[in-house]
Amino acid sequence: MMPITKYRSVQRWLNNKTRTDYSRVEQLWQRSQAVAKAEVDKQRTAMDVAQADYALAKKDFDDTRLVAPFSGVITKRYVENYSNVKDKEPIVSLQDLNDLEIMINVPERVVRNTPKKVVGYAVFAFLGVFYSVSFLMMNCISTILFA
């Protein structure tokens, strides 16, 4: 099977060639009727078919690119690259970094001597998928509840 980019290029070339051929035959017909009208019609049909094939190849190529509705990070891939997928089939799992919720368990011995309200502390999260990046957690600790 031919790669989609090569297929699209071939269809574009055929589209241009048939358009040129049709223009040449049409001009001959208009000037001197040196060619049969059937040949003009045949070239017109070939040009129409090539245009339709090119439009289909262009649409197929455009369908090979996926765009997420938000910026984020791919957290899991469900299919390999260059695989054929069906409509509504999950392809990847995305994580929106603007709305990240992290819940942690803090041992009681760590918070035992801490005031009941903690204000102004900067808390950072280090995630395994982002080896050298830390995220400043905003408004993450407002109260500490003791059982």
**Which residue blocks in the chain are alpha helix, DSSP H?**
4-32, 37-62, 108-111
Predicted TM-score (pTM) of this structure: 0.49
As given in the structure block, the two tokens for residue 2 are 């031919």
**Residue 144 scores a pLDDT above 50:** no
Q: What is the pLDDT of residues 7-44, one digit of tens each?
A: 888 888 999 999 999 999 999 889 888 888 899 999 99
Is-contact 25 43, C-beta < 8 A?
A: yes
Q: What is the pLDDT of residue 81?
A: 81
Identify whether the C-beta of residue 123 lies closer than 8 Å to the C-beta of residue 137. Answer: yes
Residue 26: what pLDDT?
92
pLDDT digits (tens, 9 = 90+) for 120-133: 555 666 666 555 55
Exposure string (b/e) for 4-19, b if CB count within 10 Å is 16 or more? Answer: eeebbeebeebbeebe
Q: Is the pLDDT of residue 95 over 90?
A: no
